[in-house]
Amino acid sequence: MAKKILVIEDDKFLRELISQKLLKEGYDVSEAIDGERGIESAKIEKPDLILLDLILPGIDGFEVLARIKSDPEASEIPIIILSNLGQKDDIEKGLNMGAVDYLIKAHFTPAEIIEKIRTVMKE
């Protein structure tokens, strides 16, 4: 059975680019364009992994991370932050809040993002 990945990203181009790449690699992909929908999807769909942007309309990615991690039904889902925020403080904050990895968008190609996902999911 294909592993399911939830992509929480408001940038349509990037969201579609990553989703297409994940689909080609055989993953089942679900998308959310804002934090509220991302939290809902995490609870309902229970994906195997979440790719989370931090700058989102409505509630930001840190809030999404906090809410998912505090939800007993969703807290075990590994979350990789994928963001343009590259400050050391942001990275430390994300990791301290429970993210398993923090990728800065400009530094990673879609192929490298897939590699990170595989590593986290121990594939």
- pLDDT mean over 38-52: 97
For residue 97, give its domain range: 4-120
Number of structural domains, the chain?
1
What is the C-alpha to C-alpha distance for residues 25 and 79, in angstroms, rounded to an integer? 19
CATH number of the domain to which 36 belongs: 3.40.50.2300
Query: Rounded to 5 degrees, what are φ and ψ at 30?
Result: -130, 145
Tens-place pLDDT, residues 72-84: 989 999 999 999 9
What is the average pLDDT value for the chain, to the nearest integer? 95
Query: Nearest to residue 20, comparing CAs of 10, 33, 29?
Result: 29
Residue 54: per-residue pLDDT? 96
